Structure 1
């Protein structure tokens, strides 16, 4: 069959995903922004809802092409390296079907290095799996719509309003906990896993001592930290923003995605940006004292040269969690919140005579 038209869709890198569609589809506009930023993404080339090829854009100008057989299975993989300023040269051509693992020849396999959208350059390789391209192949964008964009800070204040909540694990109650005052001496707050303090998320704040408040979600047999907040001003929060590192661009995020604090020890900490941590003492001083029964936070006291550190359990444990900075009307930091996303922040709260909480 001659292929004269290819449907084009975009997504995140597939990894070990074996299906015939994107596991995480993204809009073409987002893929274009990632292309311009040198980031990775995947392009699926299909015809009549059958996948024929998948193109992965890798760092440093490298590309990988997967070819699908008639059963919509990835049957062949071709890796391309930059060659000169405007060409790609195949470095490996590998069958992926059972019983045929010998690398195929790469002699003569090359193509122009594509600008974003120039996917016709990969069409000739479809013939290696019997999908014969026409002299002219028309591309049809069938990617998903742009959507609502990155995760938004919806009703963050409600995380710290006591009362009943509906959660995926059943009803629970929010209580507020005082984790003590945090001392900032350098003028920068840091938010980090205390076991991995390199590269924290930081916010400029005036030096001083500031209260740390925990939103505690209490169920029948345990208590979890749903959110944590350090407050720098009595002025009301006028706007919320995602707390970003200098090299992070929210325009490169898909719908509902966020840049957050990475957690690998089940714990997050507020600290001064100059604070150092003795990793050998963390088990005894932080991780073992924390308890989902009666101790959701712990303080590492300051020393003569360093301010204190307040650590708290991270919701259900390891993962990545959004960090929001609330700003006053004049742009100053009013507070910083880590949301562990144990329940929807925008759900309606029960009031006397009301209908009870309902997820938005």
Structure 2
């Protein structure tokens, strides 16, 4: 929860988490003081107070102050140094002092006590007005996915390019769960999509420019039916409502490589260099085969290298998974 003063300066951030049924605990509370607008815009605070509360009422209060002239005063979470002294107070308090009810949607008055700490006074009436939402606001949208695999010329921020779809083989799914992962991170929680067991073609979208060719996207086709709608592939604890404009949850890439595989497929890390990463130096895609009917793995270069990339599920009219696409965001429809 972010709190602002009457100048619209962000002065406080409160992190709340479930404490017990129907209640929230304000377990982390940071407040700042700034001398002027310039100091606030560059985040040079005069003082920062951070209060941390445990579930059993143990309280820690850290007070950080601006350092000597010329010293950095950015918050510690910015990864810089700066406070000249960090006094810490620890004490016990009734945990009820830091609780508030979980609000039903629209019942934001439960947060009024936190606003009162900033000196705000609740208004007697509040008028809500509908406003138009600009197209494209909110989380990243799946626009132009089909064009990623349509051969032909296109425009990119780096100039003219040509899209070339390339066959990357058949992916064998045995468990009913298709996973998208960095092959070097297969042991971690994968981003999965429920699909029927079977063998499905994998297609790469190569983007050829004057500088060479890169993998712009990769697709597993489960049904030869054009998708009617697209949705972002999410982990169980991910919530689209928490994303800002243009943001997304995606597959993390730490080896410059991504892969499609069955969620039960394992890899031998000691063999990845020889069997996968070194071959990918001269190829766009590599298959780690297996003896049928065991699942295989199809890996490919990530167009932009390390980073995070959205995974899209294309669904048919009746809601079935028609395809799964990982987009490396080298270009989109209309060169946007």
User: Aligned residue for 2:256?
Assistant: 266
1:107 shift after superposition:
7.2
> 2:11 matched to 1:56?
no
Distance 1:83 1:274 in 2: 37
Specify whether residues 104 and 310 from structure 1 end up closer, same or farther in structure 2 by C-alpha distance, changes over 3 A only.
Answer: closer
Aligned to 2:184, the other structure's residue is in SS state: coil
Q: Which residue of 2 aligns with 1:79?
A: 51
Would you say the 8 A contact 2:58–2:91 is kept in 1? Answer: no
Cα distance in 2 for residues equivalent to 1:79 and 1:145: 38
Deviation at 1:270, TM superposition (A): 0.8
> 1:4 maps to which residue?
none
Determine if the alignment matches structure 1 residue 155 to structure 2 residue 113: no
Residue 95 of structure 1 corresponds to 64
Listed as ranges, the matches of 1:116-265 within 5 Å are 121-122=113-114, 133=119, 136=121, 148-197=137-186, 198-265=188-255
Structure 1 residue 102, shift from structure 2 partner:
4.2
* CA displacement at 1:96 relative to structure 2: 2.5
**C-alpha distance in 2 between matches for 1:325 and 1:163:** 24
Task: Please tell me whether the aligned partners of residues 163 and 173 of structure 1 are also in contact (alpha carbons under 8 angstroms).
Answer: yes
Partner of 2:99: 113
Deviation string 1:300-346 (CA, Å, 9 cap, x unpaired) is 111356321100011111111111111222222211111111112x3
| Superposition deviation, residue 83 in structure 1 | 6.9
Shift of 1:236: 2.4
Aligned pair count reads 293
User: Whole-Å Cα distance in 1 between the matches of residues 88 and 322 of structure 2?
Assistant: 61
Residue equivalent to 2:300: 312
TM-score, reference length from structure 2: 0.76
Match of 1:130 in 2: none
How far the C-alpha of 1:220 sits from its partner, in A, is: 2.1
SS in 2 for 1:283: helix
User: CA 1:245 to 1:66, structure 2 compared with 1: closer, same or farther past 3 Å?
Assistant: same
1:211, 1:304 → 2: CA distance? Answer: 16
Equivalent residue for 1:302? 290
CA distance in 2, matches of 1:159, 1:150: 20
1:68 is aligned to 33
Using the size of structure 1 for normalisation, the TM-score is: 0.71
Give the whole-Å Cα distance in 2 for the aligned partners of 1:124 and 1:78.
18
1:155, CA displacement in angstroms? Answer: 2.4
User: Residues 279 and 47 of structure 1: is their aligned pair in 2 closer, same or farther, counting only changes over 3 Å?
Assistant: same
Which residues of 2 match residues 279-358 of structure 1 at below 5 A? 279-291=269-281, 295-303=283-291, 306-344=294-332, 346-347=333-334
Q: Secondary structure at the match of 1:47?
A: coil
Contact 1:274/1:306 (8 A) holds in 2: no
Name structure 1 gaps, 5 residues minimum: 1-41, 127-132, 348-357
Per-residue CA deviations over 1:134-161 (Å, capped at 9, x if unaligned) read: 8x476999xx997632222112111101
2:330 partner SS: coil
RMSD: 3.2
1:255 Cα shift?
2.3
Shift of 1:119: 5.7
With over 3 angstroms needed to count, the CA separation of the structure-2 counterparts of 1:327 and 1:54, relative to structure 1, is same
